[in-house]
Chain A
Amino acid sequence: AQTVTQSQPEMSVQEAETVTLSCTYDTSESDYYLFWYKQPPSRQMILVIRQEAYKQQNATENRFSVNFQKAAKSFSLKISDSQLGDAAMYFCAYRSAEGAQKLVFGQGTRLTINP
């Protein structure tokens, strides 16, 4: 079974600075998807960014980018120019490319933005 590990329960960053959240995963599959979700205090799960395993190019969405290292099974999220609205729980998730498309989540990292 696949597992996702986020080793940083909490992180903090100064407003306008850059922060990187870590995620590692374990799988024997070669084709899969990886995601970062944001959960603000409202608890709504919001998709931040996705990465297809077959793509070598790292995904980027505005201030959010990932460092996908397939051989190392690592998938970190970099947030540039951090804003107060970025404060939230961030979850890394894995999804197989086959079957029922189930998401496997990490335990989450709580990100605090210091003004």
Chain B
Amino acid sequence: SQTIHQWPATLVQPVGSPLSLECTVEGTSNPNLYWYRQAAGRGLQLLFYSVGIGQISSEVPQNLSASRPQDRQFILSSKKLLLSDSGFYLCACQTLNGLASEQYFGPGTRLTVT
């Protein structure tokens, strides 16, 4: 079964600083990868998804960007953080073994922008 790693687990960054969150996946190949953000007390919002290396789709206009340099690596970045970027960031993976495949989530990164 697949395992999703995210780091760091917790991050406190000042406004205007850069950001790099990493997600790596084990136990599968050629997965779809997703970045979600969860604001405090709210549901998950899809930020980016990728169906292959170098293929990134953005769901909402924002201060963030994503990259997929390797098949099982997905990176979320920002050049200058805003206060509104604070939240809980979840990476998810889905292996398209037919349409019955599930989306599995990593442990998440809690980002606080001060």
Instruction: Give chain B's interface secondary structure class.
Output: strand
Closest partner residue, chain A, to B50 (CB atom): A100
Residues of A within 8 A of B99 (CB): 33, 97, 101
Closest residue of B by beta carbon distance from A46: B105
The chain A residue sitting closest to B45, CB to CB, is A105
User: Within 8 Å of chain B (Cβ to Cβ): is A102?
Assistant: yes
B34 is an interface residue with CB less than 8 A from chain A: yes
Inter-subunit contact A106/B43 (CB<8 Å): yes
Partner-binding segment picked from B22-30, B61-69, B76-84, B88-96: B88-96
A100 touches B43 (CB 8 A): no
Which of A43, A45, A103, A106 is the one whose CB lies under 8 Å from B46? Answer: A103
B102–A50 contact, CB under 8 A?
yes
Q: Min CB distance, A54 to chain B, in Å? A: 10
Q: Report how many residues on chain A are interfacial, defined by Cβ distance under 8 Å.
A: 20
Contact with A along B25-46 (1 / 0, CB 8 A): 0000000101010100011111
Which of chain B's residues have a CB closer than 8 A to the CB of A105? 43-45
Name 8 A/B residue pairs within 8 A (Cβ), A-sorted. Answer: A43-B38, A43-B107, A44-B107, A44-B108, A91-B43, A101-B96, A106-B43, A107-B43
- Measured CB to CB, the residues of B under 8 A from A are 32, 34, 36, 38, 42-46, 49, 51, 57, 59, 88, 90, 92, 94, 96, 99-105, 107-108, 110
Which 9 A-B pairs have CB atoms at the shortest separation, nearest pair first?
Answer: A45-B105, A105-B43, A105-B44, A107-B43, A108-B43, A43-B108, A100-B49, A102-B46, A97-B99
Interface residues of A (CB under 8 A from B): 33, 42-45, 47, 50, 52, 91, 95, 97, 100-108
Q: A43-B38, A43-B88, A107-B43 are in contact. List 19 more A-B contacts (CB 8 A).
A: A42-B107, A43-B108, A43-B110, A45-B44, A91-B44, A100-B49, A100-B51, A100-B57, A101-B99, A102-B34, A102-B46, A102-B59, A103-B34, A103-B36, A103-B92, A103-B103, A104-B46, A105-B43, A107-B42
